[in-house]
Chain A
């Protein structure tokens, strides 16, 4: 069974940093691009960042560009999101997501973790 398990969430002060991790199992991790998607309280889904299968290319939402860094360790079947200069608007449930096809672009999001919650507040 394909599974994604996020960790690293918590309460952090504005301006602080946090690193999210996602452990993947049940599929060949380095065959697929991976994504982070978030949902703020009472809001819809928001794409945050994506990384290709090699970890050589990444994309970011304008709202996090320059503050967040996505990375992956294919030897550990793990995805990461390093977050700096956190703002109250970053408060959300963060989902780790697997892309549905192996290839040179992003296709669709077929496996989702249950999410890890981040609260940015003083």
Chain B
């Protein structure tokens, strides 16, 4: 099974900051890596798929990169609506797995 880790587990940031979250897979997953944003009481929202493709309607301040075992999600110029928990997920092979999450707060 493929294990996913994320760092940091939480980050305190301010409006306008640049935030980078790292996700690592326990073995190579090529580019089968997705990023989601989750706010309390709401459904998770897809941000990035296939490691670097911005999903429809997602602001361009979000970007993804990496391949193999190391990936990043970057938010440039953090906005008030970006405070949330972010999860990476691998879909290279079942069992599919999410990272433990990174909480971005003020």
Please give the residue numbers on chain A whose beta carbons come within 8 Å of chain B beta carbons, in ascending order: 35, 37, 44-47, 50, 59-62, 95, 100, 105-110, 112-115
Contact = CB atoms under 8 A, between A and B. Distances in A.
Contacts, number: 64
B85 to A, nearest CB: 8
A47 B98 contact: yes
Contacts of B71: none
Contact of A45 (B42, B87, B91): B87
Contact of B98 (A46, A59, A100, A115): A46
A35 B95 CA distance: 12
Given A45-B38, A45-B101, A50-B96, A110 B46 contact: yes
B101 A59 contact: no
14 contacts: A45-B101, A46-B98, A47-B89, A95-B43, A107-B49, A108-B34, A108-B89, A109-B36, A109-B46, A109-B89, A110-B55, A112-B43, A113-B43, A114-B42
Contacts of B8: none
B43 A59 contact: no
B39 to A, nearest CB: 12
B106 interface: no
A108 B54 CA distance: 12
B95 A60 contact: yes
A50 B55 contact: no
B91 to A, nearest CB: 5
Nearest to A61: B95
Given A44-B100, A45-B36, A59 B95 contact: yes
